Amino acid sequence: MQLTFLGTSAGRPTKTRNVTSIAFCLPEPHCGFWLFDTGEGTQHRLLHGGLKLNKLERIFITHLHGDHLYGLPGLLSSRTYFEGAGPLQIFGPAGLKEYLNVIFQHSGVHLGYELEVIEVSAGEVAADDRFVVEAAELDHRLPCFGYRITERPQQGQLNLGRLAELGVRPGPLYGKLKRGESITLEDGRTISSSHVVGPQLPGRIVTILGDTTPCQNAIVLAKDADLLVHEATFAGGMEEKAAAYGHSTIRQAAEIAAEAGVKRLVVTHFSSRFDDEAVAELVKDARTIFPYTDAAFDYAEFQVKRST
C-alpha cells in the first residue's frame, strides 16, 4: 500500500510543485489505484508517474475549489482512450454531479465507460471486501471532506516451510488453507489451516484530509492512523492568516497528528511562498511537536507499513 503525491502546491502550481492530487496505490495482488483530488494537470502527472488511467478505480474529491478539481474533466475524457478502462466511481461534495454534467453537456464529451458520481455526506461512503472509506466534513471556506481509509484485517501468511515438510504442493490447496479451510491429502491426512497459516494481519489506516483549519473532525478521522496526510499551507506563527483563508499552519498539522495518536504525518499543500529549502525548515519546526513528520513533494512515494 503506497501513496504517490502528484501535486503538493496550494492554490496554484509552481515550477516544481503542481496543484493537489494524491494516488492511493492498492496493495498486492491488486494493481489498481484511487485518486484523492485532481488539480489541473493531474493526468500529465500520472503519465510521468507511470500510473495508467485504466487502472484507476475510484476518485475522491475533498472540495470544489479549482486547485483540487480542475483536472477532473480532462482526466475523465482521456480515460476513454485507455483499453480496458472499466467502471469508475467518483465521490465528492454536493455540486460535483452538476459541475460534471454541465461541462460534459457543453463540451460534447462521451465517455466510453460507466461513470457513477456519488455526492457524499458524513459517515461510511464506500466499502468492499478489502477497504472501508469514511468521510467527515472539515472546516474550510467551502464544504470540504476528509477521508479515512480502513483496511480490513487480512489472513495470515502461509508457512511455506511447514507445508513443504507436510508434503503439500503449491496449488489450489494453498488457497483453501489461506481461506481458513482444512484440507485432506491423498494419504488421508487432514491439515488444519491454523497449523500452517500465521496469525491474522491487522488492517492499516490512512487518513487524507482536504483543506481545513484545525477541527475536531480532523482528529476523529485521523485517530490511530498509520499515516495522516494534512495540509500545511502556512508556517508556524501565521495562524491568524491561515484561519482567515480556511487553512492550517504546519505546527497545527503536527498538533493534530500528536493529539490523534497517528504513527506518521505527511504534510502537503504548501503556499507558493515556500521553496524547498523553506519547506525543510518548516518540517524541522513541526518535528518539535510531532517527530514523525515528513514533507511531500511531487512524485514522492510513501509506503504505508503494517503495525506489528
The full DSSP string for 172-220 is: HHHHHHHTT--EE-TTS-EE-HHHHB-PPBPPPEEEE--S--S-HHHHH
Using DSSP's 3-state secondary structure scheme, residue 234 falls into strand
- Mean pLDDT per 10-residue section of the chain, whose length is 308 residues: 97 96 90 96 93 96 98 96 94 97 93 96 95 98 97 85 86 84 88 84 94 98 98 97 97 98 98 95 97 98 86
On whether 195 is known to bind a ligand per the annotation, the reply is no
At residue 102, the pLDDT reads 96
Q: Spell out the domain ranges in the chain.
A: 2-154+201-303, 160-196
On whether 44 is known to bind a ligand per the annotation, the reply is no
On whether 285 is known to bind a ligand per the annotation, the reply is no
At residue 205, the pLDDT reads 97
Point out which residues pair with 208 in neighbouring strands: 147, 229
At residue 307, the pLDDT reads 72
At residue 158, the pLDDT reads 85
On whether 30 is known to bind a ligand per the annotation, the reply is no
Catalytic residue annotation? 67
At residue 308, the pLDDT reads 61
C-alpha span between 265 and 222 (Å, rounded): 10
C-alpha cell at 150: 480502513
On whether 140 is known to bind a ligand per the annotation, the reply is yes
Q: Identify the CATH number of the domain defined by range 2-154+201-303.
A: 3.60.15.10
At residue 297, the pLDDT reads 97
